[in-house]
Amino acid sequence: MPREDHFQDITVAGNISLSASSKITPAFTPDRIANVKNVGGGATFPATATGLQSAIDEAEADGGGLIFIYEDINLSTTTITIDGSDQVRVEFLPGVVLTYTGTGIAIDIGTDSDIRHYISLINPRLDLDDATSSAIGIRLTRTFNCLIDSPWIDAGTTTASNVGIQMRGGASGSSFGAYNKVLFPNIIGNWAKGVDIQAGGSSAGVNANQFYGGRIVRGTTKPGTGTVGFHIQLGGTNRIWGTDIGGWDTGLQIATGANSNGPLAARFETNTTDWIADTNALSNSFFGSTFFTKTNNGTDTVYLSSSNGGVEEALLQDTIIDGNLTIAGATDIQFESSVGAGTDAKIERLGAATLGTDSSLRFTKATSGSSSITTRVTGDTNDRFQTLISGSLRWGDGTNTPDIIMGRSAANVLQLEDKLKVDLELEVDGDLNHDGTNVGFYATAPVAQQTGVAVTAAGIHAALVNLGLITA
């Protein structure tokens, strides 16, 4: 597909060189400006579903146009379609609402049979409170570089498949859509899916779409079993920039066949599960500066499933998870110095309740008395074992402060500050130097060094008995 760049108010001092296939076209100027309202003159259409569709149809017939909607319109069950031309822009004046009560699509942009470019909806406000059964607020099919600016889409009734905004590829083959933007969406209500990016019937999906700011929030019925705030299937490099997603059963679902998708500086709140990557969701699900909060029922915040070749290289950069992170399947957490630099450290699940690493672990703290690794039995109020940053080891009973301490006291000296009990055998291959004041053998109470011993059989015998070396 040829690249299209857009410039405005450019001054060139010199020459512009173009390849043989390149061209310069002037900026779009609409051939028709239509007003949709009940009174007025000129190119004015009634504020009805038929009037709005007529304004769009005539603009498409002219190769594009700018349409202003001045008054509320009750679409009832009528779908508004924008599929006959590029360069159609529909602007809703502030406060204007389209009400839709059907079971289909309120505004349908694009077509399975052709690609559509540069279609814009500005400030669209849709009320689908009374719509039921599979209703969709706005659907885009095979669209490129289209803009949905500041949409407000509300739904009051939850059904198994109703959707706020849906983007899809064509009905079959490799047809796809890309480079669409949704700015500052307010998708609020009891939707089954707030946003749904899917393949349609094609094998190509929908790629490189951008969502900026706004919020995608469940309505009064939270979270709603099976509901999804943002769903991506068979699409790549779709980004969610700074959007709040909350109140859903699943905040973000990256489904089978999706790859390189993810939020940047987004915020997930009060979802049952903030993020799920399904089985066979492909590599490089990307998360940057994203905040995952605690969930509304204490279950998983982030859930990754890697069974049957699922998630590969989920990239989390500057991401806060205030809750639980669950990684399912035989997988690992990998680390690299920068994106694409190659893995140089990892932590992996080796088996039931067992983590392992083939890398080194280093603990760094400001004070040598700080602990690095501690252990407790469930119900303990104190540590049973501690390793300190200094290298010392401590042991306790789990109730009181650890009371056995062993560590380095000087060069080449390992010191045990309390008792050492050896039940079987203590083997010393070098010299044994006892620096204490008392000693006892064979369970005899330790006594001081025997002094003033008479050099007689009785005197020596008494001293040896005191030390426990012989019996009386």
Q: Is residue 251 located within the same domain as residue 372?
A: no
- Residue 296, domain member (yes or no): yes
- Residue 181, domain member (yes or no): yes
Q: Is residue 192 located within the same domain as residue 82?
A: yes
Query: Model-level pTM?
Result: 0.68
Beta strands at 291-292 and 320-321: parallel, antiparallel or unpaired: parallel
* Phi/psi-derived region of residue 64, left when phi > 0, alpha when psi is between -120 and 50, beta in every other case: left
Q: Is residue 197 located within the same domain as residue 89?
A: yes
Domain endpoint, select from 303, 334, 356: 356
- Residue 283, domain member (yes or no): yes
Tens-place pLDDT, residues 310-341? 444 555 666 666 666 666 665 677 777 876 67
- Residue 443, domain member (yes or no): yes
- Residue 456, domain member (yes or no): yes
Residue 40 pLDDT > 70 = no
Domain endpoint, select from 308, 330, 356: 356
Give the number of other Cβ atoms within 10 Å of residue 400's Cβ. 9
Q: Is residue 124 located within the same domain as residue 198?
A: yes
Measured CA to CA in angstroms, residue 389 lies from 305, 363, 369, 393 at distances of 36, 7, 6, 10
- Residue 87, domain member (yes or no): yes
What pLDDT does residue 149 have? 97
Q: Is residue 294 located within the same domain as residue 244?
A: yes
- Residue 23, domain member (yes or no): no
Tens-place pLDDT, residues 267-278? 887 787 777 766
The CATH number of the domain where 236 resides is what?
2.160.20
- What are the φ and ψ backbone dihedral angles of 11, each rounded to 5 degrees? -110, 125
Segments forming the whole domain that contains residue 391? 367-426
What pLDDT does residue 121 have? 97
- Residue 14, domain member (yes or no): no
Residue 231 CA to residue 206 CA, distance in Å, equals 12
Most confident segment among 42-46, 344-348, 387-391 = 387-391
Point out the least confidently predicted range of 32-46, 190-204, 404-418, 444-458: 32-46
Q: Is residue 289 located within the same domain as residue 265?
A: yes
Residue 56 pLDDT > 70 = yes
Tens-place pLDDT, residues 132-162? 678 999 999 999 999 999 999 998 765 667 8
Q: How confident is the model at residue 297 (pLDDT cuts 50, 70, 90)?
A: very low
Measured CA to CA in angstroms, residue 458 lies from 447, 453, 454, 472 at distances of 19, 9, 8, 11
Residue 436 CA to residue 196 CA, distance in Å, equals 77
Q: Is residue 326 located within the same domain as residue 264?
A: yes
Q: Is residue 451 located within the same domain as residue 306?
A: no
Q: How confident is the model at residue 370 (pLDDT cuts 50, 70, 90)?
A: very high
Q: Is residue 348 located within the same domain as residue 412?
A: no
Residue 346 CA to residue 258 CA, distance in Å, equals 24
Q: Is residue 443 located within the same domain as residue 318?
A: no
Q: Is residue 327 located within the same domain as residue 448?
A: no
Q: Across all residues in the chain, what is the average pLDDT?
A: 81
- What are the φ and ψ backbone dihedral angles of 158, each rounded to 5 degrees? -85, 130
What pLDDT does residue 432 have? 84
Count of domains forming the chain? 3
Structure tokens belonging to residue 131: 């719509």
Q: Is residue 319 located within the same domain as residue 416?
A: no
Which residue do the tokens 């973000």 mark? 252
Domain endpoint, select from 356, 382, 410: 356
**Mean of the pLDDT values across residues 239-257?**
84
284 close to 261: Cβ distance less than 8 angstroms: no
